[in-house]
Amino acid sequence: MRYTPRSQGKKLIVPSFFFIIAICVLAFINELRFDSLLSFGRCALSNVPTNNDSLVTPLLSSSSSSSDDEIRILIGILTLPDQYPRRHFLRMIYGTQAIPDGVKIDVKFVFCNLTKEDQKVLVALEIMRYDDIIILNCNENMNKGKTYTYFSSLPDLFNETDSPNPPYHYIMKADDDTYIRLESLVTSLRPLPREDLYYGYVIPCQSMDPFVHYMSGMGYLVSWDIAVWLKDSDIPKKHLEGPEDKVFGDWMKEGRRGKNRFNAKWSIYNFPEPPTKCTHELWPNTIAVHLLKNQEKWIRTLTYFNVTSNLKPSKLYHIP
């Protein structure tokens, strides 16, 4: 920089300028670290290029300066503590998907109290490395209220004063044999209400009417207010046992919730084989595929969606 003589007043300009930049940089770092938006949008540097993925601490979050497009989604994959290889696989599946700017998607694995000594070490290590596990206060069960514990615990688990309100606009329950295409999910959610929403694959399989029954457990989603309602209402507490997805639909019906419903069929469907009334061919307009019960089905699905096709070239490897 060239220094030329200047008046006392002008001398202040340069330091003040750097002071403002320093404040903005601080705000920017805070934003990255806490994922909270502060007042960054109004900051003088709000047009710095958005952070590159590698800078963002949580693997799956891509936060940019605040905007009305912002959307926050929690995907809870209900699984069991001992399913280590499955979790590692799903971390790759979700960790390699691009997420649009302004969208925050947290994928978390959800299970009940640990029961074995080795789990205390292995699960703790996973948390230290990935921090994507929620351990609920329950005993592991399929159809005795784990889903209720999951949804109804969220308001307290994410009740932090410095986090945005609501912490997530949408919260999802998914199975660990479901493949969700995050970008398609976000696109389908953008036009939808953020209150009293019940979204998923309508049961029975032939039906396209979301007001008749319930959404399949392969992957359904509700707005945050539904979790708050579940936590406070007596309706689910009286009726916890039974197939979790059906029981969920019963609560919604009895509580007259889910005035906004969205049937995501046939963007969400069961893997085409073996064919049933609930299956669909793999097709581009896909949000989620369910019943990926073995490696072959996963490979066919990932191949169909060209998941590895933009692998960056390198001298270090060659994949035919």
Ligand X SMILES: *[C@@H]1O[C@H](CO)[C@@H](O)[C@H](O)[C@H]1NC(C)=O
Count the site residues for ligand X by CB under 6 A.
11
Decide: is 139 part of the binding site for ligand X (CB under 6 A): yes
Decide: is 310 part of the binding site for ligand X (CB under 6 A): no
Decide: is 47 part of the binding site for ligand X (CB under 6 A): no
Decide: is 134 part of the binding site for ligand X (CB under 6 A): no
Q: Which of 102, 145, 155, 217 binds ligand X (CB under 6 A)?
A: 155
CB of 158 to ligand X, least distance (A): 9
Q: List Cβ neighbours of 287 (8 Å cut-off, separation of 6 or more).
A: 180, 181, 184, 185, 188, 264, 267, 268
Chain residues 49-88 in contact with ligand X, contact rule CB under 6 A: 52
Q: Specify the residue, 66 or 153, whose C-beta has the smaller distance to ligand X.
A: 153
Q: Which of 16, 39, 115, 159 binds ligand X (CB under 6 A)?
A: 159
Tell me the pairing of strands 219-223 and 170-174.
Answer: antiparallel
Q: Specify the residue, 133 or 192, whose C-beta has the smaller distance to ligand X.
A: 133
Q: Which of 137, 206, 295, 314 binds ligand X (CB under 6 A)?
A: 137
Decide: is 156 part of the binding site for ligand X (CB under 6 A): yes
CB of 303 to ligand X, least distance (A): 9
Decide: is 308 part of the binding site for ligand X (CB under 6 A): no
